[in-house]
Amino acid sequence: MAGTNRFSDVGVILARGFLGGVFVYASLDKIAHPDALAEIIFNYKILPDVLINLAAMTLPWVELLAGLTLISGRATAASAAILTGLTLAFSVAISYNLARGLDFHCGCFTTSPSAARAGWYTLGLELVLMLVGGICLIAAGRRQAASVPPSRA
Amino acid sequence: MGFWTRQALIALGLVGLALIVGLGVNFVRPEGLPLVQDWSETLARRAEERLPEGVAVLPPDRMAGLAGRADVVLLDARPRVFYELEHIPGAYSLPVEEAEGRIRDLLGRLGSGVRIVTYCGDPTCPAGRELAAKIRASGHPDVAVFLAGIEAWRAAGRPLAAGPDQGFPGG
């Protein structure tokens, strides 16, 4: 069974590296272009005007810090929960706007106006990221449970 | 303190740190954003700045006089479902994502003396502008966009039509 555990440990490390890396990469262009990100957030037509600029200033830093924390292997449950929560929020927002036929940019990895419009494939990507986030979160919980002495279990 | 409580506090701490860093970076940035901004007004201004060369802007007062004229073709650039719910009377549906395949068909039915006017929902919606740009790039000389869109038309109390598209003129 040790071999299986080692295999799943490597899988979890890869999952953490993948999810963290995706969010770190996704945050960089948004940090560089907050004005373009704010415009994209406005075009989602979900947040009230008073929260749009605050979200554009803060959201990329949440992605960057949580992504780096997840990659580092420290506080993996906290960072995986944040990133899974973000993918859930993005999935709901994208689904809602696709369902009501809005023509909008995802803003997932780039703020460029020439990027492709959001589509159902964008939602598919978010769901894959959410699945990986869920795996990281469950793995963090199991690791914690396994480290608790039997008398406390 | 339990494991999950500690992780929840760390998560809150990360979000708080991101808030502080984000606000701090924005504060020292030369082109930092204001905390609150009227994005409808900002994007309406940007929409005019982003118009391609050769595409005119049609103000709402002139739009009312053009709708229904024989030498004007109105195109609704929104997804078809919105067109069917409501559109400016006399407009045809040409969602911008279908433009590539249908512009040639449309232009083949029109004389060069016809003015084409596109519109979308409101000034923040790029589809009307993009459709106008594509038609202009296809060689039609007289293209304009009603940037204020159907929201302004409705707000002015002008009549609206509903139902499926009947096909381009002459079809």
Rounded to whole angstroms, the Cα distance separating B59 from B119 reads 11
Is B161 in a helix, a strand, or coil?
A: strand
Contact predicate A87/A130, CB 8 Å: yes
Helix (H) or strand (E) holding A8: helix A2-32
Rounded to whole angstroms, the Cα distance separating A146 from A23 reads 28
Is B75 in a helix, a strand, or coil?
A: strand
Rounded to whole angstroms, the Cα distance separating A29 from A115 reads 13
Give the model's pLDDT for residue A65.
98
Q: In this structure, are strands B115-119 and B72-76 parallel, antiparallel, or unpaired?
A: parallel
The angle subtended at Cα B8 by Cα B4 and Cα B12, nearest 5°, is 170
Which of these, A21, A36, A31, A66, lies nearest to B24 by C-alpha position?
Answer: A31
Mean pLDDT of chain B: 89
* Stretch among B29-38, B39-48, B80-89 having the lowest mean pLDDT: B39-48
- What's B114's DSSP letter? P
**Which is more confidently placed, A29 or B169?**
A29
What tokens were used for A29? 């262009």
Over residues B30-55, the mean pLDDT reads 86
Q: Give the pLDDT band (50/70/90) at residue B50.
A: confident
Low-confidence ranges of chain A (pLDDT < 70): 1-7, 114, 150-153
Which of these, A29, A57, A30, A55, lies nearest to A42 by C-alpha position?
Answer: A55
Contact predicate B165/B93, CB 8 Å: yes
List, as ranges, residues 44-103 from B with C-beta within 8 Å of A. 46, 78-79, 81-82, 96-97
Give the model's pLDDT for residue B110.
83
Asked whether the whole model's pTM tops 0.90, one would answer no
Report, in this order, helix, strand and coil percent for chain A, each rounded to 5: 80, 0, 20
Q: Which residues, at least 6 apart from B110, have a Cβ–Cβ distance to it below 8 Å?
A: B73, B116, B140, B169
Exposure on the CB side of residue A129, measured as CA atoms within 13 A? 27
Candidate from B18, B26, B79 with C-beta closest to A62: B18
**Amino acid (one-letter) located at B54:** G
What tokens were used for B129? 């502008």
Contact predicate B140/B112, CB 8 Å: yes
Contact predicate B162/B85, CB 8 Å: yes
Residues of A with CB under 8 A from a CB of B: 31, 34-35, 38-39, 42-43, 49-50, 52-54, 56-62, 64-66, 69, 75, 77-79, 81-82, 101, 103, 117, 140-141, 144
Over residues B132-147, the mean pLDDT reads 91
Cβ–Cβ gap A42/B96 under 8 Å? no
Cβ–Cβ gap B18/A75 under 8 Å? no
Q: Please list every residue in chain B whose beta carbon sits closer than 8 Å to the beta carbon of residue A42.
A: 39, 43, 124
pLDDT tens for each residue of B5-39: 999 999 999 999 999 999 999 999 998 999 999 98
Give the model's pLDDT for residue A153.
44
Rounded to whole angstroms, the Cα distance separating A137 from B50 reads 44
Q: In what order do the strands lie in the sheet with B143-146?
A: B55-57, B143-146, B115-119, B72-76, B92-93
ipTM of predicted complex: 0.88
Give the model's pLDDT for residue A41.
93
* Residue from A45, A54, A61, A152 to probe the interface with B (highest B Cβ count within 10 Å): A61
Cβ–Cβ gap A57/B26 under 8 Å? yes
- Chain A contact present for B1, CB below 8 A: no
Where are the domains positioned within chain A?
2-147
Rounded to whole angstroms, the Cα distance separating B39 from A45 reads 11
Q: Please list every residue in chain B whose beta carbon sits closer than 8 Å to the beta carbon of residue A34.
A: 26, 29, 32-33
Cβ–Cβ gap B127/A103 under 8 Å? yes
Give the model's pLDDT for residue B169.
72
Beta strands in B31-138 (DSSP E): 55-57, 72-76, 92-93, 115-119
